[in-house]
Amino acid sequence: MIGLVLTAAGASTRFGGDTPKVLADLGGRPVIAHALEAFRAALPDVAVVVTVPPGQEERFTDLLPGVHVVPGGATRQASVTAGLRALPHEADPVLVHDAARPLVTAAVITRVLEGIARAGAALPVLPVTDTVHRLAHAPTDDDPVPLGAALPRAELVRAQTPQGARRALLVAALEAAAREGREYTDEAALLLEAGHVVLAVAGDTHLVKITTSDDLEHVRRHHAAS
């Protein structure tokens, strides 16, 4: 049995408005429903846990009948830990996916699972097409910042989800990070720091994470055209 932790506990601060981004309308249904449906279509027997903002469990349970909903934590790492604990013990490997990436495809899911079978952990990536420079911090309208060195673009990629690993690897990496007070923004970085090989597989240009209202409009256009 494959396990899925669908993370939806973010504060949606940059999205704006009163509606969490994962509950925004996409073709007549909430964003999160599209992500969930994609995994269930690709993996009919998948065990799913959805992590949500504390206090909103009932709201999400009503929208996603039959899905195990648990409160997330203050960080992504804490939310993934909570979701992993709620999965059936036999769920292995485990995938972690941003609920705000509704256009995930069966092809990407399959590639990630094949990567896990080969190396123990995997994630989808896209090449970086822009030139990337180092900066001390992001500039603002009235605070320009001296430009740092350009980074070798051929060695850089953009990480997407689902990311996943054999359950024992993910559990051990999360426990070690908690003991040592380390926080990571994705599972790949967590697993790499724990000394594991993480296989990069081809991602998808349409697998956009909805962070702002502009991202939502981009996803809506692609969804309407597909």
Q: What is the pLDDT of residues 112-150, one digit of tens each?
A: 999 999 999 999 999 998 899 999 888 988 889 999 998
Q: Looking at residue 17, what is its pLDDT?
A: 58
What is the third-level CATH fold of 3-129+147-225? Spore Coat Polysaccharide Biosynthesis Protein SpsA; Chain A (3.90.550)
Q: What is this structure's pTM?
A: 0.92
- Residue whose structure tokens are 């996943």: 164
Alpha carbon distances (Å) from 141 to 138, 144, 145, 212, 213: 10, 7, 10, 19, 21
